């Protein structure tokens, strides 16, 4: 049931930051899996480029180790064939040395070979890399660049980054990654909404009471302390991943599944977001649960900043001012060290306008749950008659479809987000990448929220590691006579 594998065109992919964590954990394993599926044509080359002084052989050894760690069982003959594609050059983004060798290896851009530069380095190196690529005439108008998150720290820095890249590359050549968009189930949101007649007529404020989007993680900030403490949950997760989910849930149907048609509709959602009221925002920071032993660190201990006011959790209520959604609140929350790892969207439909069954039947409303991870699937809660002779009593039952059950092993055979995204870059399909104006609009909505709590001197509320987040997030819902749906594993 998984789509046929269609080989991509021959390519040269230069991975700047080819020795880094992201390259080892995600980019190289993704390329290897596509290679094993025969999707990479003969002659496709992967050129690792970084500051370390490595030979081709020692880089190949590093790649082999990374694949063995991150790809499970690796067949030796597949590995050997993959490593034949892998080269290494020592290239420093800020130093001309090394660029001559890269120029020699790549030659002039050619029409019959796709050329991709993957910027898997810190954002401060994006501009120097773009400049060196142009100075050495390594790109033409068919060349593509891939840039990693975070795309800016606020609107001003995102704008500056866009301008820098735009001075060397056309927007159609720039692929800004939000790996959430490459997830099979996130793309499924569009299939569920626009491939079925069932939901779309009800997908508006007349029938939908409210929508909850939860991205919960069990991990803390270990390993990324310095970056995270300057960023926090709002910048690290809300501005990009949750915003993208919100867009896919709330956007109008695009006329076709084409990059600009889809991204135009997403942009309209972001631009229609109202500013968030301060009392509709809850920030939290994890602490060790009461009775914890020494190994359970608090957020502040983890980042080594005893007074840090960075949030590891944020919940907020958002409103979209347009005809479809006026009056339907969207509750968004994300946090670290929560009780379970789970990404879920819950669409709560309104009660039936009139109950013919009387007050004893209680209140019943439909709920559509879209689980993105783990155990991807959808559940629709419907109301039925409680079985038995005791009169007309009602109960709710789930119509449950676990994709793993329905699709068997095929769901697990579905490509990882990076596999999908990298092959889309080589194919030249930007649908699942963020456009520059989209990123700027997301920052334009986020910046005043952050500026607001900074100027008020708000301090995040403590919450226990392993809990569902701070109690104030529950109050945010209760004030509206609502409750969060549980965070389930
Ligand atoms: P890392 O620190 O592990 O690796 C950085 C890489 O950049 C190394 O290969 C290093 O040699 C290279 N490098 C550093 N300075 C250089 C220079 N002057 N010239 C050329 N190469 C240079 O970082 P990472 O975790 O791999 O992250 C890379 C990028 O991806 C960052 O922008 C990060 O925010 C982003 N990102 C990482 C992850 C992740 O899980 N690691 C997730 C999302 C986004």
* Distance from Cα 18 to the centre of ligand 1, integer Å: 8
User: How far is Cα 301 from Cα 304, in angstroms, rounded to an integer?
Assistant: 5
51 labelled binding-site residue: yes
Mutate to test the pocket of ligand 1, among 20, 126, 129, 221 (most ligand atoms within 8 A of CB): 20
How far does the centroid of ligand 1 lie from the alpha carbon of residue 120, in Å?
5
| Shortest-distance Cα residue to atom 21 of ligand 1 | 50
- Distance from residue 129's CA to the centre of ligand 1 (Å): 13
Cα-to-centroid distance, 21 and ligand 1 (Å): 7
Cis peptide before 150 (omega within 30 of 0): yes
Name the residue with tokens 């793309």.
187
CA-proximal residue: ligand 1, atom 44 (nearest): 149
Residue limits of CATH 3.30.360.10 in the chain? 182-414+438-478
Q: How far is CA 10 from CA 44, 383, 429, in A?
A: 5, 54, 16
The one-character DSSP state at 253 is P
pLDDT tens across the length of the chain (489 residues)? 555 688 899 999 999 999 999 999 999 999 999 999 999 999 999 999 999 999 999 999 999 999 999 998 889 999 999 999 999 999 999 888 899 999 999 999 998 999 999 999 998 999 999 999 999 999 998 999 999 999 999 999 999 999 999 999 999 999 999 998 998 888 888 999 999 999 999 999 999 999 999 999 999 997 889 999 999 999 999 999 999 999 999 999 999 999 999 999 999 999 999 999 999 999 999 998 776 666 678 999 999 999 999 999 999 999 999 999 999 999 999 999 999 999 999 999 999 888 888 877 777 899 999 998 888 888 999 999 888 887 788 889 999 887 777 776 555 566 789 999 999 999 999 999 999 999 999 999 999 999 999 999 999 999 999 999 999 999 999 999 999 999 976
CATH architecture of the domain formed by 182-414+438-478: 2-Layer Sandwich (3.30)
Fold for domain 11-148? Answer: Rossmann fold (3.40.50)
CA distance 441 to 439: 5
364 is catalytic: no
Is residue 230 a known part of a binding site? no
Gap between the Cα atoms of 254 and 258, Å rounded = 8
- Bond from prior residue into 374 cis (ω within 30 degrees of 0): yes
| Residue in 35, 210, 241, 319 annotated catalytic | 241
Strand order in the sheet with 365-373: 394-402, 377-385, 365-373, 342-351, 208-216, 330-335, 313-318, 281-287, 461-464
Delimiting residues of CATH 3.40.50.720 domain(s) in the chain: 11-148
**Measured from the CA of 16, which atom of ligand 1 is nearest?**
21
Residue 461 annotated as binding? no
Q: Show the tokens assigned to 400.
A: 């449950």
Question: Which of 14, 28, 120, 223 should be mutated for ligand 1, with most atoms under 8 A from CB?
Answer: 120
| Contact status, residue 466 vs residue 289, Cβ threshold 8 Å | yes
């Amino acid at each position: 049931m998984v789509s046929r594998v269609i080989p991509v065109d021959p390519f040269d992919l230069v991975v700047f930051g080819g020795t880094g964590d992201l390259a080892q954990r995600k980019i190289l394993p993704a390329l290897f899996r596509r290679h094993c599926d025969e999707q990479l044509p003969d002659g496709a080359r992967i050129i690792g480029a970084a500051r370390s002084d490595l030979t081709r052989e020692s880089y190949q050894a590093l790649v082999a180790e990374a694949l063995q760690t991150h790809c499970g069982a690796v067949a030796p003959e597949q590995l050997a064939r993959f490593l034949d594609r892998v080269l290494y050059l020592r290239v420093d983004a800020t130093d001309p040395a090394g660029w001559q060798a890269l120029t020699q290896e790549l030659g002039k851009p050619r029409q019959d070979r796709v050329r991709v530069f993957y910027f898997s380095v810190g954002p401060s190196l994006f501009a120097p890399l773009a400049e060196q690529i142009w100075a050495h005439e390594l790109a033409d108008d068919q060349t593509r660049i891939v840039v990693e998150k975070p795309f800016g720290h606020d609107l001003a820095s995102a704008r500056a980054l866009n301008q820098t890249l735009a001075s060397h590359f056309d927007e159609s050549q720039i692929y800004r990654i939000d790996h959430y968009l490459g997830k099979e189930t996130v793309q499924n949101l569009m299939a569920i909404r626009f491939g079925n007649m069932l939901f779309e007529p009800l997908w508006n404020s007349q029938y939908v009471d409210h929508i909850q989007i939860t991205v919960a993680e069990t991990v803390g900030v270990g390993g990324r302390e310095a970056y995270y403490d300057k960023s926090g949950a709002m910048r690290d997760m809300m501005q990009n991943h949750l915003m993208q989910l919100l867009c896919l849930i709330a956007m109008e149907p695009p006329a076709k599944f084409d990059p600009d048609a889809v991204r135009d509709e997403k942009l309209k959602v972001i631009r229609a977001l109202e500013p968030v009221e301060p009392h509709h925002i809850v920030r939290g920071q994890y602490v060790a649960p009461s009775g914890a032993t020494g190994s359970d660190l608090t957020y502040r201990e983890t980042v080594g900043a005893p007074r840090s006011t960075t949030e590891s959790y944020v919940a907020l209520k958002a409103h979209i001012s347009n005809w479809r959604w006026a009056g339907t609140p969207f509750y968004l929350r994300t946090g670290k060290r929560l009780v379970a790892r789970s990404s879920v969207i819950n669409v709560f439909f309104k009660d039936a306008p009139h109950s013919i069954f009387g007050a004893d039947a209680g209140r019943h409303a439909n709920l559509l749950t879209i689980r993105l991870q783990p155990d991807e699937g959808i559940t629709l809660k419907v109301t039925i008659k409680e079985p038995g002779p005791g009169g007309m009593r009602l109960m709710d039952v789930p119509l449950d479809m676990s994709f793993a059950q329905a699709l068997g092993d095929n769901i697990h055979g579905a490509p990882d987000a990076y596999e999908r995204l990298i092959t889309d870059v080589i194919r030249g399909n930007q649908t699942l990448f963020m456009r520059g104006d989209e990123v700027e609009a997301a920052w334009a909505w986020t910046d005043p929220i952050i500026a607001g709590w900074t100027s008020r001197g708000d301090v995040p509320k403590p919450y226990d590691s392993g809990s569902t987040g701070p109690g104030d997030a529950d109050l945010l819902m209760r004030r509206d006579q609502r409750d969060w749906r549980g965070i389930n594993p």
